[in-house]
Amino acid sequence: MTMKNGQMNSTISPEAFCALYEQYKDDLYRYAVYRLGSREDAEDAVQDAVLDAWKQIGNLRSPEAFRSWIFRILYGCCGRKIKDLIREREKSEAVGGMQNTAVPPDPGETASTRMSLEKAFGLIDDQTREMVLLSVIGGMNSNEIAGMSGLAPGSVRSRLSRGLKVMREYLEQ
C-alpha cells in the first residue's frame, strides 16, 4: 500500500492477487451458482468479476477488505448477467422457446438436501434471498450488505433474521 496524491493506493502483485482469489474462489462460485441458477453463467460471472477486480485493484483499500470488495464486484456482475438472461429469455419466448432455469446440484450436496434448500429459498422474497446468500456464502455483515442494498443495517439484520428463521423452520420439519 502506498500513498499517492493524499489517497491510499493498493499495490498488489499478480501473485498476491491470485493468492487472495484462491482463498475465496469456491465461495464466489457458489454464490454465483445460487444467484444465477446455472454453472456456466456462474463461471462467466466469476470470470468477469475477477477481471474487473484485477482492473480495479488500485481501488482496494487493504488486502483485508478483499473478500467483501470482490463480492461487491461479483454482485454487480451477477446483476448484469441476470439482465442479459432476462433479455435472452424474452427473445426466446417471443419465438416460442423456453430455457431451463433449474440450479444444477453442487457435487457436495445430496439431491434431497438440494431440493430442501431450493424450497426453503422459495419461501423468502428475492431481496431477502440475496441478503442470505451474501451473508452465508459471501460472509458479509449487515453493514456491508446495507451498503450494497441501500437499506439501513438494522433493516438488513431484521430481514436476515426473519428470512433465516423461515428457512430454518422449514428445514427442521
Global confidence as pTM? 0.72
Tell me the C-alpha distance between 155 and 139, whole Å: 18
Mean pLDDT of the chain: 83
In angstroms, the CA 90 to CA 74 distance is 24
Give CA–CA dist 108/100, Å, rounded. Answer: 22
Q: In the chain, what are the domain boundaries?
A: 1-104, 105-173
pLDDT at 89: 76
Give the count of beta carbons closer than 10 Å to the beta carbon of residue 59. 12
Contact by Cβ (8 Å): 28, 79:
no
Angle (CA) 127 77 126, round 5°: 15
Give domain 1-104's CATH architecture: Orthogonal Bundle (1.10)
> Quick one: average pLDDT of 44-56?
95
At 58-106, the pLDDT tens digits run: 888 888 889 999 999 999 999 999 888 888 877 766 655 444 444 445 5
E-only strand ranges, 1-61? 2-4, 7-9
Let me know the angle formed at the C-alpha of 33 by 67 and 23, rounded to the nearest 5 degrees.
30
Q: In angstroms, what is the C-alpha Rg of the chain? A: 18
Place of cell 451477477: 78
Q: Which residues pair with 7 in a beta bridge?
A: 4
Q: What is the per-residue pLDDT across 117-151, written as a single tens digit (0 to 9) for each?
A: 888 888 999 899 989 999 988 888 999 999 888 89
User: What CATH number belongs to 105-173?
Assistant: 1.10.10.10
Output 38 or 9, whichever has higher pLDDT: 38
Q: How confident is the model at residue 52 (pLDDT cuts 50, 70, 90)?
A: very high
Q: Is the pLDDT of residue 16 over 60?
A: yes
- The CA distance from 128 to 150, in Å, is 13
